[in-house]
Amino acid sequence: MALVNTTEMFKKAYEGGYAVGAFNVNNMEIIQGIVAAAKAEQAPLILQVSAGARKYASPIYLKKLVEAAIEETGLDIVLHLDHGDDFEICKACIDDGFSSVMIDGSKYPLAENIALAKKVVDYAHDRGVTVEAELGKLAGVEDAVKVSAKDATYTDPDEAVEFVQKSGVDSLAIAIGTSHGAYKFKGDPSLDFARLDKISALLPNFPLVLHGASSVPQEFVELCNKYGGKIPGAQGVPESMLRQAAKSGVCKINIDTDLRLAMTASIRQTFMEHPEEFDPRKYLAPGRDAIQKMVQHKIKDVLGCSGKK
């Protein structure tokens, strides 16, 4: 049981043709729900912290909660910075004891993105910390991504090879049609699997990462809407596509929106059914249980990492 970096975890995932879930954490109940699921499934686990989460909870609280989770479960867990914007935030997380960081230079031109990633890699690797970077841009919520636009924003396979070779990163997030949030597709969902397969073939034994991978289960959307929410038209990545990606070199699948939906649907339901309730434990505990149930389903039925701890 330990705080580990991604090296061994991704090696096993790649060889086993499964993916590890990377779940965003913001507070104790979210961490406990995810960790209970990973423990029940004896699954490898990545807990990731965004800049917003660091600001909300303060880094020390999240770090101590993750340490408690490792101690309580006996699992190996990666504590990862999600979407680090610049070298400084990556350095701060490494100095705080994170075992993995993402430097997201996807908004920069290729050479700049590579140089920034390499700077983080040099600092991180000296300290046993692994590094994820991103190449290509995830589709915006409103984007109707057409073929010509795809070439401008989706990850270019040859650039991916150049990026990995020059930067020395340990994993690479790619853009093949997913996007962050609850509104991912206007029409039928589709991902560019031909592109994924090409990148994967050019980078053998190299772990790829899929961001924006929530499935937006309709049961949560309907529950939210039934109990006063307003999220019509939300649509995520079908789970069958995530299964396929996990078999094509994608070793890390990022999920945040589904956690938010699971917890919010449950809390809305409690408030509507028990309007007299004002003890936070009475609505946070069912929210935590809803997260556990959803994460357990992902681990067992989607990512394929049950029993792979």
What are the residue numbers of the active site? 82
Pairing of strands 76-84, 45-49: parallel
Q: For residue 140, which amino acid is it?
A: G
Rg value, the chain, Cα:
19
**Does 260 sit near Zn ion (CB under 5 A)?**
no
Residue carrying structure tokens 């050479």: 111
Positions 164 through 193 that interact with ligand 13P (CB under 6 A): 180-181
CA distance 115 to 186: 36
Among 53, 70, 209, 291, binds ligand G3H (CB under 6 A): 53
SS3 57: helix
Residue carrying structure tokens 């067992």: 300
**Does 74 sit near ligand G3H (CB under 6 A)?**
no
Among 21, 136, 212, 217, binds ligand 13P (CB under 6 A): 212
Give the range of 46-54, 66-74, 164-172, 289-297 binding ligand G3H by CB under 6 A. Answer: 46-54
Give the range of 48-56, 151-159, 183-191, 232-240 binding ligand G3H by CB under 6 A. Answer: 48-56
Give the range of 85-93, 108-116, 210-218, 296-304 binding Zn ion by CB under 5 A. Answer: 210-218
Among 54, 63, 80, 211, binds Zn ion (CB under 5 A): 211
| Residue 32 contact among ligand G3H, ligand 13P, Zn ion, none, beta carbon within 5 to 8 Å by kind | none
**Does 27 sit near ligand G3H (CB under 6 A)?**
no
Nearest to 299 by CA among 81, 23, 99: 23
CB of 189 to ligand 13P, least distance (A): 12
Residue 139 is given by DSSP the state: P
Among 29, 41, 76, 82, binds ligand 13P (CB under 6 A): 82
Distances (CA, A) of 178 to 198, 238, 305: 17, 11, 21
Give the count of beta carbons closer than 10 Å to the beta carbon of residue 136.
22
CB of 108 to ligand 13P, least distance (A): 18
CB of 24 to ligand G3H, least distance (A): 5
**Does 256 sit near ligand G3H (CB under 6 A)?**
yes
Evaluate whether 96 touches 127 at the Cβ level (below 8 Å).
Answer: no
CA distance 44 to 266: 26
**Does 80 sit near ligand 13P (CB under 6 A)?**
no
Phi, psi of 135 (to 5 degrees): -130, 125
Nearest to 62 by CA among 98, 24, 21, 27: 27
Among 180, 195, 288, 297, binds ligand G3H (CB under 6 A): 180
Residues that bind ligand G3H (CB under 6 A): 24, 50, 52-53, 82-83, 180, 256
